[in-house]
Structure 1
């Protein structure tokens, strides 16, 4: 039996009105100063205000930083690092989507050191965690609150890059359903499809284990069963809670087995054309699974048995086709684009996309099928 592992945050809470757990965490620390890390959109939405009110009521000293950009470059994160290094804090409380949480994790590694985010791109083993991190997701998708990854854009290469370090695991995670109550359904849908791709890719990954399979399959089941109900009924909080948990499961699975070709081909689309990560994954999801199918049909069938047991009488091949069709059906029903036409991607960009995707060896090495250049090119052509 192969060895298996999972890496998880120190403590996770799921429910509503969870700020008391944050207060308990801070109360145990000698230095109670906090950097409250978020973005301007969340400040305007009112989601940050309950944390501020709680800090003020409980005399917790804090500074706010809200200038993080969506899907930032490493240069922008370095600029934020210089800014927040002037504050006196030993805990980062990050509330937001993947960009906010990823930037907070990166800053926690290089705070008050001679290293930069660029240095982490070159070698993330140089540093260790410099302050505590509390992550509070406000989308149903990235799973950043559970991963050892942080994604930045490398502008000189027009591509995204994943920095990986065990030191990025947070000390506390609050999965508070209140934070996704007013999440616009378009963002909810694209982030949930992103989370679904995490679960399915991890389950079909070359590195999948019995432990990662258990977590990935639970996440997939939560998302497959709840994404359409949550999209169609904004008041269905049980469905949104299930998506929030499914996204967390996807993040945990990533730490053990890793995503594969969907994400590898998605990174150039985000880096050069600034297509939202969940949207680019959704566009590629079905096509990549179809090309991978000869090497992952048994894995898709196994996942089908868990998520859709009513399909149990079908053959392995039929179950694999069913799962791929279900993915396509979900993307269509939640009204995510299924091609790149509206994003300015042209046939002239094909060589760049293929070259950049093939450089994502960290992810492609997880893929059970060794994709040829022609296969990668045909995947992109199929969505142009």
Structure 2
């Protein structure tokens, strides 16, 4: 199987796996227990926390969650609760992950005012619309750093400055960007990240909070994480996340150069007839989202069962609806349904790219001949 679905999840780094194994075996202590095994587990958790938090610099705190879904729910609901009726507005973009959009829809049903900023055909948020929307009634601005479907890099720094100018908080969904592109920490008050998008384990994420920012707790119980997030931590997951984060930042330039080469190769082998969805320049090149007129994507995926790729977000898979991201950039239903997302990274080989792109090109050309 050739794996080209890095936006959905990434292979576990061997180094992360090695860090996890001792904590799954003899080092299984509860990190919240006071005895020696508990203290050893706690030390592993805190080492991981330091490694993950390092890119954020001094100040702030990083709290572990079960994943980015929990982190984003906590940030949005917790800030909205703190703001109260005096600041009922939340501003986001039309191409956010379903976690953000569905959480905001839930809040709308409880009286929140949600503004969804449009994006251009390049897949970049409209800053003029943002200036008009972000005002003194705004509690929170929420925007992703790198879009999970088309890879476009959003103007988080500019949006954060607008939020600050009116006393609102800035939440960045950095799940697809952490460890890959520069993180505009200075513009953000809350940042959500996930381990399994950077070659770490599934089941763990984190929410970084600027000093003085404390959303209302989402989970209640023991308050194990800073008194505001309850639940027993899994030291093995924390350790795997920590090593994956350390590797991501140590290898960021090397990985980026390698992925740039794969991007160039993939586009060359695919050949003519494909249209790139979203900006070429302002995007993470580990995400190649392209369309071809008349392409039957469901058939393509059925024919190429030895190549793992997608038609969009894994979270919306099987819904039968065209991608909300592709619709937001102006594609028709037919164009959206003729689009595929190819994701590659550190462990993808040049040989795999050559083989997979050749198979995709040949299958697409065969479809076109049959229609003609």
TM-score by length of 1: 0.35
Q: Which has the higher helix share?
A: 1
Q: Which has the greater radius of gyration? A: 2
Bigger RCO of structures 1 and 2 (CA < 8 A, at least 6 apart): 2
TM-score by length of 2: 0.36
